[in-house]
């Protein structure tokens, strides 16, 4: 999303309507920036139920969802597969390279993608996508470099808010009351 003199809310509204894919990193966005291990050193994985419902609805309504991690966070794979996530790239050496492979595999343009990031390592992808978003608890440095700052923290409803916005703008979120203009 290039800076311009246009009303920022109209630019976000246009980007929401154009979004066909949502890219999410595991760390910071899905797991809230927490890594938890059991007594054997095995990672314990969890995802917000609100975020999980939103991911399932996004997939059900045709939004491509891709989840990346530079770590081999394999504990997330069964959770993500159970939600219907179509593209899971765990243990990717580079978030940007994984993103490029994802859009090439699905014939997508950057403008058709939204990405939620929370730290400077996500910036290379956030700078390319049509709708760059950060969680409210994302790195301060990202705040002037994204198109939208979620009102929710990563791992605590940020994904849900963005999915609601995308599907709602496209008339696909099933729990939105029609506006007076649509009646």
Binding site members:
27, 118
- The helix (run of H) or strand (run of E) holding residue 22 is strand 21-25
Q: What phi, psi does 85 have (nearest 5°)?
A: -60, 125
* Residue 142 to residue 126: CA distance in whole angstroms: 9
Q: Which residues contact 57 (CB under 8 A, 6 or more apart)?
A: 163, 167, 173, 174
**Residues making up the binding site for substrate:** 27
CA angle 180, 164, 49 (to 5 degrees): 135
In sign, the C-alpha dihedral spanning 136, 123, 161, 8 is positive
* Residue 145 to residue 29: CA distance in whole angstroms: 17
Is 147:15 a contact under the CB 8 Å cutoff?
yes
**Residues making up the binding site for Mg(2+):** 118
**Phi-psi map region of 32: left, alpha, beta (phi>0 left; psi -120 to 50 alpha):** left
Is 50:164 a contact under the CB 8 Å cutoff?
no
């Amino acid at each position: 999303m290039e800076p311009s003199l246009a009303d920022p809310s109209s630019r976000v509204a246009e980007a929401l309507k154009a979004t066909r894919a949502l890219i999410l990193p595991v760390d910071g966005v899905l797991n809230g920036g927490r890594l938890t291990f059991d007594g054997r050193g095995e990672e314990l994985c969890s995802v917000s139920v609100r975020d999980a419902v939103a991911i399932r609805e996004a997939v059900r309504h045709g939004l491509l969802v891709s989840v990346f991690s530079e770590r081999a966070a394999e504990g997330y794979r069964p959770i993500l597969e159970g939600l219907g996530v179509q593209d899971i790239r765990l243990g990717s050496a580079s978030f940007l390279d994984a993103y490029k492979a994802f859009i090439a595999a699905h014939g997508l343009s950057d403008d058709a993608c939204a990405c939620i990031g929370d730290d400077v390592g996500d910036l290379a992808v956030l700078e390319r996508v049509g709708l760059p978003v950060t969680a409210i608890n994302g790195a301060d440095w990202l705040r002037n470099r994204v198109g939208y700052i979620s009102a929710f923290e990563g791992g605590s409803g940020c994904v849900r808010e963005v999915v609601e916005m995308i599907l709602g703008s496209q008339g696909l979120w099933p729990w939105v009351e029609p506006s007076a203009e649509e009646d």
